[in-house]
C-alpha cells in the first residue's frame, strides 16, 4: 500500500515550475498580433525549456534562490548565443565576438520596433529580442511562483507581456491570445492555492483535482471574459510610423474618418525621434506628396473624408481629376520607396497619370485625387508617372466656367457668420477667384497679422475652435491653418478641400528623403479647367514649404524669399529660424557628401539589454524595499510614543518571526504566540525578558482602561527582542530580499 502511494505521488515543485513556464508561454501568444509569422515560437520554447531545466537542477541541489536565478539568466544568454550567433566559443559560450553580434541583432530589433508597422516578419533580430524578454520574464516568474510561492504576484509580469504587443498593434490582438493568457494565469493560481496544504510530494489525484477542477475552470472562464473585454477597449493604440488613419468600412460616401488623419498627423510631428518614411528618386523639384483629401467640414470635429467612391483600377492609365481639362505641365517619372510607412492611402505627387509596382487591389478616385486600397497588404516600392501643372497667375485669373465638382466642396454649413464676414473683408479688393485665394493665403503668412506656427494651439476661450483660432488664438498647427483657410475660401464661393500628406523632405544625393517631420496639411482650391491647385497658409519657418510658382510669385518676397538665381538647392534643408520639432540636418558647407540621417540614428544595443535587466532587478527588489519601509515607519512611531505604539511594536516582532517561517495561529493570544516563538527560535535570556515586557505592554494597551500610561521603555524593549532574535536566528539572503511577511499580503 505504501509503495502504491509513493508511485502515485508527484513533486509539487515540478508542477509549479511547469505551470509558471506555461503561463509565460500562454501570455507570449500575444506576439502573434504583431509578428507576421511563427518563426519566433521554436526559439522561445527552447529558451524557456533551458530556464526551466536550470531552475529544476538548482532546486534539486539546493542552490540559494539568488544563485538559481543567476544561473537561469546565464542560461538565457547561452541560448541566445547558440541560436542567433556564429561566433560562440566552442559553439556554446558567449565570448566578446558573440556579445557584439547579439548587440547588433538587438540594435536591429530596436530599429524595427521604432519604425516598423505591425505585423512585421519575425526575422532573427526580433526573434532574439523576444527570446531575451521572455527568458527574463520566465526567470522572474519561476522565482515568484516556485521559490517564493506567491503565484498571484506573477500576474503583474504576465500583464506586462501582454502590454508590449498590445501597445504596438494597431488593432485588437487575436481573441484566442487573451483566452490563452487567462488560462495560463489560472493554472498558476491553482498550483499556488494549495501550497499551504501540499507537501513536497503530493498525491497525484489531489494535484489533478486542484489543477483541473471546477474552481480552476471557473477562473479560466472569468479571466478569459475579462481579458477579452479589456483587450477590446485598450488594444486599439499603436506606435506605427504612418500618417492617416484607417480604411473606412464603406466607400459609399456616407462614412467619414473624423479627426483621425489630423490625430495621426499630430502624432507624427510630436515623435521624439525622426523616422524615415520614403525615399524618392526622379523628382526634379520640391512638391507636396498628397495622401488623401477631406471635403466635409464638421464644426464640432473638423474636416472629414466623405464621398470616396470605388473609383477606377490604379494599375492602369489614370483619368484626369474630375473637373480638370488642362493636362499641361512638367511630365515626370518618379520612383517611391516606402521605408517606414504603411497605410491604405498611397501618396502621390501632382496629377498622377500612371501607377505601377504597388501591388493589386489599389483604386484611384479621380474626384478626391486619392489612391487607396481596401485590403491589408505590405508596402512596396512603386513608380508614378505624373504631371506637375504650372499655370501662371494670369491663367488662373482667367479661369472661368462651370464648377464641375461636387457641390459639397462649396458647403458652408457650420461656418460661423463672423468667419464669413472676415473672408469678405479680406477679399473685398480682389477681383478674381485667384486673387481672393492669394489674399486669404497672405492673411495667414503675413507676420503683421500675428499668426504663429506652434504644435500646440492657444488656450480656448469657450467659443468654437475655428473662431477661437482666427480671432483670438492665432497660434496653432498646420491643421488649424489648413482648416481655417479652406473654410474661408468656401464662404467667398471658391470650392476647397484640405489635403493631408507630406512636404518634399530633403535631398540626399540623387534621392529625396521624406520623414515623419514632413507630415503636413495644406489647402487645395478649384479653378475651372485647371482643377485643384495648391495653397499653403501655414507660416513654416524651416524651409519646408514647397509653394507652386504661381503662388510664390504673388506672395510677398519678404515672407517667402525666392531662391537666388543660379544657386543650387541645398542637399539638406536650411536651419535658419527652426521651428521647434522640425530641426533638420545642418547644411554641409564643406562640399562633402551629405551624411545619411539614418547613420546618425544608430542606437547602442546595450540600453536595450540593460533596460531589461534593470526592470528585472527592480521587480526583484520591491519586496525587500517594502519590508524596510514598514520597519522604519514602525520604529519611528514607537520611538516617538505614537498612539498604539505597543501594537505597532508587536506587529513588527510578528513580521520578523514570519520572515523566519513562523506562522502564528490567528486564534492564539499574545502570550501563547510569544511562548511558541521563544521556544522555536531559542532566544537568549535578555531576549526572553524583553519579549515578556513587550507582551505586558501590548496587553495593557489592548485591555487596560482608557488613560493608562504607556510603557515608557517600549523602544528599548522592542530593540531588545529584535537584537536577540537576530543573534539567535539570522536571516539568510533570500529571506532578506523576499520577506515572507510582505509576500503573504499578495496571497
- CB burial string 696-734: b at 16+ within 10 A, e below: ebbeebeeeeeeeeebeebbebbebbbebbeeebeeeeb
Q: Cβ(645)–Cβ(710) under 8 Å? A: yes
Task: Give 3: exposed, middle or buried? Use CB within 10 Å, 0-12, 13-18, 19+.
Answer: exposed
Q: ∠ CA(656), CA(662), CA(663), 5° rounding?
A: 110
Nine-digit cell at 50? 533551458
The set of residues, in sequence order, having a beta carbon less than 8 Å from that of 314 and lying 6+ positions away, is: 346, 355, 358, 362, 363, 364, 371
Q: What is the largest CA-CA distance in the chain?
A: 110
How many other C-beta atoms lie within 10 A of the C-beta of residue 159?
Answer: 15
Please report how many Cα atoms fall inside a 13 Å half-sphere around the Cα of residue 196, on the Cβ side: 7
The set of residues, in sequence order, having a beta carbon less than 8 Å from that of 606 and lying 6+ positions away, is: 103
- Helix, coil or strand: residue 62: coil
pLDDT for the residue 494: 96
| String of DSSP letters for 642-710 | -TTHHHHHHHHHHHHHHHTT----TT--HHHHHHHHHHHHT--HHHHHHHHHHHHHHHHHHHSPTTPPP
Task: State residue 547 phi and psi, 5-degree precision.
Answer: -75, 145
Chain-centroid distance of CA 620 in Å reads: 25
- Helix, coil or strand: residue 465: helix
What is the spatial distance between Cα 129 and Cα 121, in angstroms, rounded to a whole number? 13
The set of residues, in sequence order, having a beta carbon less than 8 Å from that of 289 and lying 6+ positions away, is: 278, 280, 347, 348, 349, 501, 502, 503, 504, 514
Write the CA distances from 517 to 243, 447, 504, 544, integer angstroms.
Answer: 11, 23, 11, 10
Nine-digit cell at 492? 467667398
pLDDT for the residue 11: 66
Q: Cβ(146)–Cβ(20) under 8 Å? A: yes
- Helix, coil or strand: residue 428: coil
In this structure, the dihedral spanned by the alpha carbons of residues 484, 488, 490 and 493, taken in order and rounded to 10 degrees, is: -160
In 311-404, which ranges are E strands?
312-313, 330-338, 348-349, 351-356, 362-365, 370-373, 382-388
Low-confidence ranges of the chain (pLDDT < 50): 1-7, 193-197, 231-272, 458, 460-462, 558-605, 746-747
H/E element, 128:
helix 124-142
What is the spatial distance between Cα 644 and Cα 701, in angstroms, rounded to a whole number? 7
Question: Closest Cα partner for 370 from 251, 283, 490, 511?
Answer: 251
Query: DSSP letter at 520?
Result: E
Task: Give 24: exposed, middle or buried? Use CB within 10 Å, 0-12, 13-18, 19+.
Answer: buried
Q: Model-level pTM?
A: 0.48
Is 1.20.120 the CATH number for 607-746? Answer: yes
- Which residue is listed with cell 481573441? 175
Nine-digit cell at 182? 487567462
Q: Cβ(344)–Cβ(377) under 8 Å? A: no
Check residue 32 and give left, alpha or beta (phi > 0: left; psi -120 to 50: alpha): alpha
What is the spatial distance between Cα 474 and Cα 457, in angstroms, rounded to a whole number? 8
539-551 pLDDT per residue, tens = 876 677 788 889 9
Dihedral sign (CA 331, 337, 340, 341):
positive
The set of residues, in sequence order, having a beta carbon less than 8 Å from that of 462 and lying 6+ positions away, is: none
- Which residue is listed with cell 536591429? 108
Q: Which own/partner contact pairs does 376-381 have at CB distance under 8 Å and 24+ positions apart?
A: 378/342, 379/117, 379/338, 379/341, 379/342, 380/338, 381/335, 381/336, 381/337, 381/338, 381/357
In this structure, the dihedral spanned by the alpha carbons of residues 199, 205, 208 and 210, taken in order and rounded to 10 degrees, is: -60
What is the spatial distance between Cα 470 and Cα 477, in angstroms, rounded to a whole number? 13
- The β-bridge partners of 336 are 280, 382
- Which residue is listed with cell 518634399? 504
Annotated domain spans of the chain: 2-234, 260-583+594-600, 607-746
Task: State residue 335 phi and psi, 5-degree precision.
Answer: -110, 125
- Which residue is listed with cell 476661450? 461
What is the spatial distance between Cα 428 and Cα 66, in angstroms, rounded to a whole number? 81
What is the spatial distance between Cα 472 and Cα 490, in angstroms, rounded to a whole number? 21
Nine-digit cell at 231? 483587450
Amino acid at each position: 500500500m505504501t509503495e502504491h502511494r509513493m508511485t502515485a505521488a508527484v513533486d509539487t515543485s515540478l508542477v509549479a515550475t511547469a505551470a509558471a513556464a506555461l503561463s509565460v508561454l500562454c501570455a507570449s501568444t500575444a506576439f502573434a498580433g504583431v509578428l507576421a509569422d511563427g518563426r519566433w515560437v521554436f526559439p522561445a520554447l527552447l529558451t524557456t525549456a533551458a530556464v526551466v531545466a536550470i531552475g529544476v537542477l538548482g532546486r534539486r541541489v539546493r542552490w540559494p534562490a539568488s544563485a538559481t536565478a543567476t544561473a537561469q539568466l546565464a542560461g538565457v544568454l547561452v541560448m541566445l548565443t547558440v541560436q542567433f550567433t556564429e561566433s560562440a566559443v566552442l559553439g556554446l559560450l558567449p565570448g566578446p565576438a558573440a556579445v557584439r553580434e547579439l548587440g547588433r541583432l538587438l540594435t536591429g530589433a530596436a530599429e524595427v520596433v521604432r519604425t516598423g508597422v505591425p505585423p512585421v516578419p519575425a526575422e532573427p533580430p526580433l526573434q532574439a529580442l523576444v527570446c531575451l524578454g521572455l527568458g527574463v520574464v520566465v526567470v522572474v516568474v519561476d522565482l515568484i511562483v516556485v521559490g517564493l510561492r506567491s503565484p498571484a504576484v506573477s500576474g503583474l509580469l504576465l500583464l506586462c507581456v501582454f502590454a508590449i504587443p498590445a501597445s504596438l498593434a494597431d488593432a485588437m490582438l487575436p481573441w484566442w491570445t487573451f483566452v490563452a493568457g487567462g488560462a495560463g494565469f489560472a493554472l498558476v493560481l491553482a498550483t499556488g492555492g494549495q501550497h499551504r496544504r501540499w507537501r513536497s510530494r503530493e498525491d497525484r489525484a489531489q494535484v489533478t483535482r486542484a489543477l483541473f477542477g471546477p474552481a480552476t475552470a471557473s477562473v479560466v472562464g472569468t479571466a478569459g471574459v475579462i481579458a477579452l473585454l479589456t483587450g477590446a477597449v485598450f488594444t486599439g493604440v499603436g506606435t506605427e510610423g504612418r500618417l492617416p488613419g484607417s480604411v473606412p468600412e464603406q466607400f459609399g460616401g456616407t462614412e467619414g474618418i473624423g479627426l483621425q488623419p489630423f490625430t495621426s498627423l499630430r502624432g507624427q510631428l510630436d515623435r521624439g525621434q525622426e523616422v524615415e518614411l520614403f525615399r524618392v528618386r526622379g523628382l526634379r523639384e520640391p512638391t507636396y506628396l498628397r495622401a488623401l483629401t477631406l471635403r466635409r467640414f464638421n464644426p464640432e470635429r473638423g474636416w472629414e473624408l466623405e464621398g470616396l467612391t470605388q473609383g477606377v483600377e490604379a494599375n492602369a492609365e489614370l483619368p484626369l481629376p474630375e473637373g480638370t481639362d488642362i493636362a499641361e505641365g512638367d511630365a515626370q517619372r518618379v520612383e517611391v520607396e516606402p521605408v517606414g510607412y504603411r497605410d491604405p492611402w498611397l501618396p502621390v505627387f501632382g496629377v498622377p497619370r500612371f501607377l505601377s509596382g504597388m501591388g493589386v487591389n489599389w483604386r484611384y478616385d479621380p474626384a478626391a485625387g486619392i489612391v487607396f486600397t481596401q485590403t491589408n497588404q505590405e508596402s512596396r516600392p512603386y513608380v508614378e508617372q505624373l504631371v506637375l501643372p504650372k499655370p501662371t497667375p494670369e491663367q488662373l485669373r482667367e479661369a472661368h466656367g462651370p464648377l464641375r465638382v461636387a457641390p459639397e466642396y462649396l458647403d458652408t454649413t457650420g461656418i460661423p457668420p463672423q468667419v464669413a464676414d472676415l473672408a469678405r473683408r479680406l477679399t473685398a479688393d480682389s477681383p478674381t477667384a485667384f486673387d481672393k485665394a492669394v489674399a486669404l493665403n497672405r492673411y495667414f503668412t503675413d507676420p503683421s497679422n500675428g499668426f504663429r506656427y506652434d504644435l500646440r494651439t492657444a488656450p480656448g476661450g469657450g467659443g468654437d475652435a475655428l473662431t477661437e483660432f482666427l480671432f483670438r488664438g492665432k497660434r496653432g498647427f498646420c491643421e488649424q491653418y489648413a482648416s481655417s483657410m479652406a473654410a474661408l475660401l468656401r464662404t467667398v464661393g471658391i470650392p476647397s478641400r484640405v489635403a493631408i500628406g507630406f512636404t518634399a523632405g530633403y535631398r540626399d544625393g540623387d534621392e529625396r528623403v521624406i520623414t515623419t517631420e514632413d507630415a503636413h496639411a495644406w489647402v487645395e482650391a478649384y479653378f475651372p479647367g485647371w482643377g485643384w491647385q495648391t495653397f499653403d497658409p501655414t507660416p513654416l519657418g524651416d524651409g519646408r514649404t514647397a509653394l507652386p510658382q504661381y503662388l510664390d510669385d504673388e506672395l510677398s518676397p519678404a515672407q517667402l524669399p525666392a531662391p537666388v538665381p543660379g544657386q543650387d538647392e541645398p542637399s539638406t534643408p536650411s536651419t535658419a529660424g527652426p521651428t521647434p520639432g522640425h530641426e533638420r540636418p545642418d547644411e554641409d558647407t564643406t562640399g562633402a557628401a551629405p551624411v545619411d540621417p539614418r547613420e546618425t540614428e544608430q542606437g547602442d544595443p546595450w540600453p536595450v539589454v540593460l533596460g531589461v535587466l534593470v526592470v528585472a532587478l527592480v521587480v526583484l527588489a520591491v519586496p525587500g524595499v517594502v519590508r524596510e519601509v514598514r520597519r522604519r515607519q514602525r520604529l519611528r512611531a514607537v520611538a516617538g510614543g505614537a498612539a498604539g505604539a505597543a501594537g505597532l511594536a508587536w506587529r513588527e516582532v510578528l513580521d520578523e518571526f514570519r520572515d523566519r517561517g513562523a506562522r502564528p495561529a490567528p486564534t492564539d493570544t499574545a502570550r501563547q504566540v510569544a511562548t511558541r516563538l521563544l521556544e522555536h527560535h531559542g532566544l537568549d535570556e535578555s531576549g526572553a525578558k524583553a519579549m515578556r515586557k513587550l507582551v505586558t505592554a501590548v496587553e495593557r494597551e489592548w485591555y487596560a482602561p482608557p488613560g493608562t500610561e504607556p510603557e515608557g521603555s517600549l523602544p528599548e524593549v522592542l530593540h531588545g527582542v529584535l537584537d536577540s532574535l537576530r543573534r539567535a536566528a539570522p536571516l539568510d539572503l533570500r529571506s532578506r530580499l523576499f520577506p515572507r511577511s510582505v509576500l503573504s499580503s499578495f496571497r
